[in-house]
């Protein structure tokens, strides 16, 4: 399927093209389309971290409660995770370019509405809708890359470059967010997205909008139950962390989460096209990758949220200085993925994951020692170690999922992996972000890494 529109036919009497000109023109269009796809995913990942340093300013201006504040972050990731499992099928049915451009345009528009939110409830609703738009963009962008680079080797290089370049958005989020808050307040954080959305929409406009013809049915009950389970679990954890574990609303929410999870398992066994096919979940390596994905994002986003509050509320640092304080962690995230993907190819995913989780246990131990008067150097060491562990983990499990998943379920496997990562992000903010002090956050982080380490070892032996 040709993704780039053919050049317009030449009119009579026009100057003949010089040799090599069509090839150069096609190469330029390919690079432009690639840049547009990168810009869109950059925006998605930027929005996952740019808001954290704006939380205290947002809390003051919107009079947000301690229970509502985590939802300004988690509303995005919960909906993102819930819809990621179906968005690939949507792109297949309606055409990747059409879905991608619609989602990009919606992302830019919703960002403006978030910037104008009159209260915290309106902001949470806007962030939830942003998560839906982001879920529409990511699988569609991968489908566009697959058509843009039909050669397997070129496609692997392109996907690696797409992941690394767009991942810079994850890294620069806190720094850029701090600068914007210092310049004019938290609302400026959302003004970054519309120009990026416009650039991305414009650069991919020449790609084909042809649908694949695949008409996979949606497992709507499974998707609804999965999203309900994740929302209820996140709400219950946030409410319990802020109001206490004996709070009736927290207990009811956690009970709903358990019931919804049980219902998911029951419904999926009888679904014609289950969200997560049983034959996929029966593979030990796939299960390990999904658990590791949850743990990696749980640790990263939980640390980002809790350390941000420690910088600004305990150490009374400005938003701009908080952004600068995150630079030691963010710089490795910009460059290390280019090297760790090669290491994963050479040594395999499991050793990389095991080393990363050992490092994360150490990070949790370091954070356990952090108090109100702890040197910033100690927190900086923890940040750098966590950045290294993250870049060891994510490229490794992404590559391993591609190998461990049967070819007919490849797209489903990658969708499940991304959904698992977003689930981990939501749980990290819900659990670590509501912990009282860095001591408890360090314990929760180390416990998550240790549990993943044990599960990875058990899965390997059973395989």
Question: Is residue 15 pLDDT above 60, yes or no?
Answer: no
The pLDDT of residue 454 is 81
Question: Is residue 5 pLDDT above 70, yes or no?
Answer: no
Give the mean pLDDT of 200-211. 78
The pLDDT of residue 226 is 81
Residue extents of the structural domains in the chain: 28-208, 219-275, 276-462
What are the phi and psi torsion angles at 207 (to 5°)?
-75, 155
The DSSP annotation for 157-225 comes to HHHHHHHHHHHHHHHHHHHHHHHHHHHH-GGGGGGGHHHHHHHHHHHTTTB--------PPP-HHHHHH
Closest alpha carbon to 92 in 6, 217, 197, 279: 217
| Residue 458: Cβ within 10 Å count | 12
pLDDT confidence bin for 4, thresholds 50/70/90: very low
The pLDDT of residue 215 is 56
pLDDT confidence bin for 194, thresholds 50/70/90: very high
Least confident of 45-54, 318-327, 361-370, 424-433: 424-433
Question: Is residue 2 pLDDT above 50, yes or no?
Answer: no
d(CA 97, CA 33): 11
Q: What's domain 28-208's architecture? A: Up-down Bundle (1.20)
Least confident of 41-50, 123-132, 264-273: 264-273
Which has the higher per-residue pLDDT, 262 or 158?
262
The pLDDT of residue 22 is 62
Question: Is residue 112 pLDDT above 70, yes or no?
Answer: yes
Which has the higher per-residue pLDDT, 264 or 113?
113
- 3-state SS of 221-266 is HHHHHHHHHHHHHHHHHHHHHHHCCCCHHHHHHHHHHHHHHHHHHH
The pLDDT of residue 13 is 43
Question: Is residue 381 pLDDT above 70, yes or no?
Answer: yes
- Express as a percent the part of the chain with pLDDT over 90: 14
Are 40 and 69 in contact, with CB atoms under 8 Å apart? no
Give the mean pLDDT of 197-219. 74
pLDDT confidence bin for 114, thresholds 50/70/90: very high
The pLDDT of residue 246 is 78
Question: Is residue 438 pLDDT above 60, yes or no?
Answer: yes
pLDDT digits (tens, 9 = 90+) for 166-191: 778 877 888 899 899 989 889 999 99
Q: Residue written as tokens 């809390």? A: 59
pLDDT digits (tens, 9 = 90+) for 33-62: 889 998 998 999 888 888 888 888 888 889
Asked if 28-208 and 276-462 have one fold, the answer is yes
d(CA 62, CA 69): 10
The pLDDT of residue 266 is 85
Ranked by mean pLDDT, which of 32-36, 42-46, 105-109, 360-364 comes out on top? 105-109
Please give the CATH number for the structural domain made up of 276-462.
1.20.1250.20
Summary mean pLDDT of the chain: 80
pLDDT confidence bin for 90, thresholds 50/70/90: confident
Three-class SS of residue 122? helix
Which has the higher per-residue pLDDT, 245 or 288?
288
pLDDT digits (tens, 9 = 90+) for 94-103: 788 888 999 9
Question: Is residue 1 pLDDT above 50, yes or no?
Answer: no
Global pTM reads 0.77
Give the mean pLDDT of 5-24. 48
């Amino acid at each position: 399927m040709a993704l780039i529109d053919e050049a317009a036919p030449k009119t009579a009497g026009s100057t003949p093209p010089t040799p090599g000109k069509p090839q150069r023109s096609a190469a330029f269009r390919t690079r432009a389309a690639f840049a547009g796809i990168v810009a869109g995913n950059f925006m998605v990942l930027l929005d996952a971290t740019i808001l954290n340093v704006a939380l205290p300013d947002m809390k003051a201006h919107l009079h947000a409660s301690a229970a509502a504040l985590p939802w300004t972050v988690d509303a995005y990731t919960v909906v993102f995770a819930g819809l990621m499992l179906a968005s690939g099928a949507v792109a297949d049915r309606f055409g990747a370019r059409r879905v991608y451009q619609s989602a990009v345009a919606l992302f830019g528009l919703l960002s403006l509405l978030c910037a104008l939110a009159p209260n915290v409830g309106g902001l949470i609703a806007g962030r939830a809708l942003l998560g839906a738009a982001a879920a529409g963009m990511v699988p569609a962008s991968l489908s566009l890359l697959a058509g843009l680079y039909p050669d397997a080797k070129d496609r692997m290089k392109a996907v690696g470059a797409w992941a690394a370049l767009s991942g810079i958005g994850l890294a620069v989020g806190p720094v850029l967010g701090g600068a914007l808050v210092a310049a004019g307040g938290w609302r400026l954080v959302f003004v970054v997205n519309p120009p990026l959305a416009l650039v991305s929409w414009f650069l991919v406009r020449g790609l084909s909008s042809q649908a694949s013809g695949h008409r996979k049915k949606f497992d709507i009950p499974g998707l609804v139950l999965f999203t309900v389970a994740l929302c209820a679990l996140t709400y219950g954890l946030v409410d319990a962390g802020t109001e206490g574990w004996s709070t009736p609303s927290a207990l009811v929410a956690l009970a709903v989460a358990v019931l919804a999870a049980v219902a998911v398992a029951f419904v999926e066994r009888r679904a014609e096209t289950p969200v997560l096919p049983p034959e996929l979940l029966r593979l030990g390596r796939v299960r390990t990758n999904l658990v590791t994905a949850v743990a990696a994002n749980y640790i990263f986003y939980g640390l980002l949220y809790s350390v941000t509050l420690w910088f600004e509320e305990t150490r009374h640092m400005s938003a701009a200085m908080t952004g600068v304080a995150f630079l030691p962690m963010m710089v490795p995230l910009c460059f290390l993925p280019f090297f760790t993907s090669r290491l994963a190819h050479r040594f395999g995913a499991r050793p990389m994951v095991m080393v990363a989780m050992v490092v994360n246990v150490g990070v949790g131990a370091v954070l356990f020692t952090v108090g109100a008067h702890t040197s910033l150097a100690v927190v900086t060491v923890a940040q750098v170690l966590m950045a290294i562990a993250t870049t060891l983990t994510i490229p490794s499990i992404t590559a391993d999922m591609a190998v461990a998943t049967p070819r007919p379920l490849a797209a489903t496997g990658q969708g499940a992996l991304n959904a698992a990562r977003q689930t981990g992000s939501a749980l990290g903010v819900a659990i670590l972000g509501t912990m009282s002090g860095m001591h408890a956050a360090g314990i929760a982080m180390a416990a998550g890494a240790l549990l993943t380490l044990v599960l990875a070892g058990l899965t390997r032996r059973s395989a």
